[in-house]
Amino acid sequence: MTHEFKDIVAAYVLAKEKQIKAVLATVVDLDGSSYRKPGVRMLLLENGDMVGAVSGGCVEKDIARNAVSVFQDGKPKMMLYDGRYRLGCEGILYILIEDFDPSTSFIDAFTKCLDTRVDFNFKSSYRKEEGVFDTIGSTIEFKNDSYLVSKNSSEKSGTNNLHFEQRMQPCFKLMIFGAEHDAVQLCKYTALNGWEVTVVSGPLESKTIKNFPGATDFYAASPDSLELSKIDDQTAVVLMSHNFANDLKFLIELKDSTPAYIGLLGPAHRREKLLSQLIEYYPDVNEAFIDQIHGPAGLNIGAETPPEIAISILSEILSVVRDKKPILLREKQGGIHA
C-alpha cells in the first residue's frame, strides 16, 4: 500500500507545480467482497489524469464523475458503488472523495518517513451514505505530527461518523546481491510489482544502475563495506552472484540482520555447503536467521528462463511475507483475497 501512496504523492507534487488540482479517492469500507480492500487509493487530476486504481477498472469512471464537484468546491463527499449487479465481486464499496492539497511540511515529513523506513497512520472519518458532509476527511499521522489531507479536511468528528485507520509500513524492498542477466530480470519484475529494488554487485563489475531497469539503488562494493542497517522486516534478500565465495561473504555480512526473507540461487547441495561453512565460521549464528533462508529460492512452477525464475522467486517471497501456503486458487475455500 505504501508504494502506491508514494506514487500518489509524487504525482501530486508534479501537478501542484503546474497548478493542477488533485482529488484523492479512498475505499474506506466494504460490504461483501471486492477486487481490492479498504485502504486502496487513487489520485484524480483536474486534467483527467489518474494515478492508481481502487478496482480492476470498473469503478474509476464513476469516481471521476463524482469527483467533479470536489474539484469545483473542495467539499469532501461519500460515494457508494454497488457491484452486486455490475461486477463479479458482489460487494458495496464506500469511497471517500476529498480534495488533496497537503502542506509543504507534510511533503517534507513524508519524504523523511520513507527514507528512515518508519510506519505512519492514515486515518479517515466517513459515513456509510452518499452525500457531502462537513465532518468527513482524512489525516496522516507520523510519530510526532499530524497533517490534514487538505485545508478542507476536518478534524471534527460527526456523531454519525465512522472511522477507518490504516497502519502504513515502509515500502517493501528487495535487495539483489548479484549482477548477472538473471539479476536484471529479477530487478525488472520486482519493480513492476511496485517494490523498491537495491542491486549490489562486486567492486570489479562493469555494471551501473542503467543496466538494471527499475532499480532504486545500485552499489558496486565489497561485502564488508556495505551499510546494511536499513534491512528490516519489510526487506527481502536474494543472493545470486553465481560465485560461491561472494555469496558466502554476503551471507556472513547479513548474519546479524533480520530481513523477511533470504533466498539462495542454486541447487540444494550448494545451499547446504553455504550454510555449513557459515556455521563453521560463526557457530553461534542465530537460528532465526537460518530459518529465514530459502534455497533453492522460488516456487516449483516449472520455471526455466530468467523471467520465469524471477516470477518463481517473487511468488515465494510473497507467500512467505504474507504467510500463505501456495495452492491453486480453485482449491481455496472462502474469498480468494483473504
Domain final residue, candidates 168, 197, 212: 168
Residues 18 and 79 in one domain: yes
Residues 107 and 7 in one domain: yes
Domain final residue, candidates 168, 192, 222: 168
Predicted local confidence at residue 204, as pLDDT: 78
Residue 329 lies in a domain: no
Return the half-sphere exposure (C-beta side, CA atoms, 13 A cut-off) of residue 34: 26
Please check the confidence at residue 156 and state whether its pLDDT lies above 80.
Answer: no
Q: Phi/psi of residue 92, each to 5°?
A: -110, 125
Cell of 328: 491453486
Please check the confidence at residue 220 and state whether its pLDDT lies above 80.
Answer: yes
Residue 252 lies in a domain: yes
Residues 122 and 225 in one domain: no
Residues 184 and 108 in one domain: no
- Per-residue pLDDT of 181-206, as tens digits, reads 999 999 999 999 999 999 999 887 88
Q: Which CATH number covers residue 279?
A: 3.40.50.720
The answer for 214, left when phi > 0, alpha when psi is -120 to 50, beta otherwise, is left
Predicted local confidence at residue 43, as pLDDT: 97
Residues 134 and 281 in one domain: no
Residues 162 and 179 in one domain: no
Residue ranges making up the domain that contains 74 = 2-168
pLDDT range class, residue 337, cuts 50, 70, 90: low
DSSP per-residue string spanning 276-328 = HHHHHH-TT--HHHHHTEESS-S--S---SHHHHHHHHHHHHHHHHTT-----
Mean pLDDT of the chain: 90
What average pLDDT does this structure show over 87-102?
A: 83
Please check the confidence at residue 141 and state whether its pLDDT lies above 70.
Answer: yes
Which strand ranges, in their side-by-side order, compose the sheet holding 146-148? Answer: 146-148, 137-141, 120-126, 162-168
pLDDT range class, residue 327, cuts 50, 70, 90: confident
Residues 123 and 148 in one domain: yes
Residue 331 lies in a domain: no
Please check the confidence at residue 318 and state whether its pLDDT lies above 90.
Answer: yes
Predicted local confidence at residue 104, as pLDDT: 92
Residues 211 and 138 in one domain: no
Residue 248 lies in a domain: yes
Positive or negative CA dihedral for 164, 169, 171, 175?
negative
Place of cell 483536474: 46
Predicted local confidence at residue 70, as pLDDT: 95
Give the residue among 91, 97, 83 at the shortest CA–CA distance from 126: 97
Domain final residue, candidates 152, 168, 184: 168
Residues 296 and 217 in one domain: yes
Predicted local confidence at residue 157, as pLDDT: 62
Number of domains in the chain: 2
- Per-residue pLDDT of 49-86, as tens digits, reads 999 888 766 788 899 999 999 999 999 999 998 876 65
What are the CA-CA distances from residue 90 to residues 25, 30, 34 (Å)?
A: 21, 10, 7
What average pLDDT does this structure show over 31-49?
A: 87
Predicted local confidence at residue 338, as pLDDT: 56
Place of cell 539462495: 264
Beta strands in the chain (DSSP E): 22-32, 41-45, 50-52, 77-82, 91-99, 120-126, 131-132, 137-141, 146-148, 162-168, 173-177, 196-201, 217-220, 235-239, 261-264, 293-294
Give the residue among 249, 257, 255, 250 at the shortest CA–CA distance from 230: 257
Give the residue among 239, 292, 243, 299 at the shortest CA–CA distance from 265: 239
